Chains A and B, each alone.
Chain A
Amino acid sequence: MLIITGVLMAGSLGASPAQAATAPPLTAAPCATDPATGCLQGTIKLPNGDPAVGIKLEIAGAGLDTVAVTGDDGKWSQAITAAGAYTINLDTSSIPDGAVLDSATKNPATVNGALNKNTGYVFKIVGGTTAADGTTTQTPTTDAGTGVTFERFLQQLVSGIRLGLLLALAAVGLSLIFGTTGLSNFAHGEQVTLGGLLAYLFANVLGLNLILAAVISVAICAATGYFQDALIWKPLRRRGLGTTQLMIVTIGLSIALQYAFQYFLGASTVRIDQANPVTVALGPVTLSAQSLISMGIAVVIIALVGFVLVKTRIGRATRAVSDNPSLAAASGIDVDRIIRLVWTSATALAGLSGVLLGLVLNGVNWQTGLQLLLLMFAAITLGGLGTAFGALAGAMIIGLVVELTNLVLPGDFKYATALVILILVLLFRPQGIFGRRERIG
Chain B
Amino acid sequence: MDQLLGTLNAILNSAISPQTAALAIAAIGLNIHFGYTGLLNFGQAGFMLIGAYAFAISIIGGLPIILAVIIALVAALIFALILGIPTLKLRGDYLAIVTLSAAEVVRIVGRSSLLTNVTGGSNGITGNEYRSPFTDLSFFGDGRVDFGPWNYDATGSNGWWFIATAWFVVALLCLFVWAIMRSPWGRVLRGIREDEDAVRSLGKNVYSYKMQALILGGVIGAIAGIVYILPASLQADSMGRSMTYFIFTALLLGGAATVFGPVLGAIVFFAIRLFVQGIAGQFVPGNIMNGQQTEQFAWIVIGITLMLVVIFRPQGILGNKKELSFDVK
Contact = CB atoms under 8 A, between A and B. Distances in A.
Interface of A: 1-7, 9-10, 23-24, 26, 32, 85, 104, 110-112, 114, 184, 236, 239, 241-245, 247-249, 251-260, 262-263, 266, 370, 374, 377-378, 381, 385, 410, 412-413, 415-416, 419-420, 422-423, 426-427, 430, 438-441
Given A415-B104, A440-B329, A252 B91 contact: no
Given A256-B303, A259-B303, A416-B104, A112 B242 contact: no
B123 A111 contact: yes
A413 B111 CA distance: 10
Contacts of A416: 104-105, 108-109
A266 B100 contact: no
Contacts of A259: 296-297, 299-300, 303
A438 B311 CA distance: 29
Interface string B286-306: 000011110111011011111
B108 A184 contact: no
Interface stretch (B142-150, B161-169, B172-180, B229-237): B229-237
Contact of A252 (B93, B113, B237, B310): B310
Contact of B306 (A1, A24, A252): A252
B2 interface: no
A251 B302 CA distance: 11
B279 to A, nearest CB: 16
A440 B196 contact: yes
Residue from the set A3, A258, A416 with the largest chain B CB neighbour count within 10 Å: A416
A316 to B, nearest CB: 26
A6 B240 contact: yes
B225 to A, nearest CB: 12
B94 interface: yes
17 contacts: A1-B14, A3-B235, A9-B242, A23-B292, A104-B113, A248-B248, A252-B249, A252-B307, A254-B245, A255-B303, A259-B300, A374-B101, A413-B109, A423-B101, A426-B86, A427-B85, A430-B94
Majority secondary structure of chain A interface residues (helix, strand, loop or mixed):
helix
Contact of A439 (B89, B252, B295): B89
Nearest to A241: B311
Residue from the set B239, B273, B293, B310 with the largest chain A CB neighbour count within 10 Å: B310
B198 to A, nearest CB: 13
Contact of A257 (B87, B243, B303): B303
B126 interface: yes
A112 B123 contact: yes
B114 interface: yes
**Cβ-closest 9 pairs across A and B:** A256-B303, A6-B238, A252-B306, A255-B303, A242-B327, A252-B307, A419-B101, A259-B299, A427-B86
Given A256-B300, A413-B108, A9 B90 contact: no
Contacts of A26: 290
Contacts of B282: none
Contacts of A24: 292
B274 to A, nearest CB: 8
A376 to B, nearest CB: 10
B310 A441 contact: no
A37 B34 CA distance: 40
A32 B281 CA distance: 14
Given A6-B235, A419-B104, A423-B102, A248 B96 contact: no
Nearest to A377: B97
Contact of B233 (A9, A110, A112): A112
Contacts of A7: 237
Contacts of A10: 122, 237
B112 interface: yes
Contact of B87 (A112, A260, A370, A426): A426
Nearest to B88: A441
A39 to B, nearest CB: 12
A244 B328 contact: yes
Contacts of B122: 10
A395 to B, nearest CB: 15
Contacts of B235: 3, 6
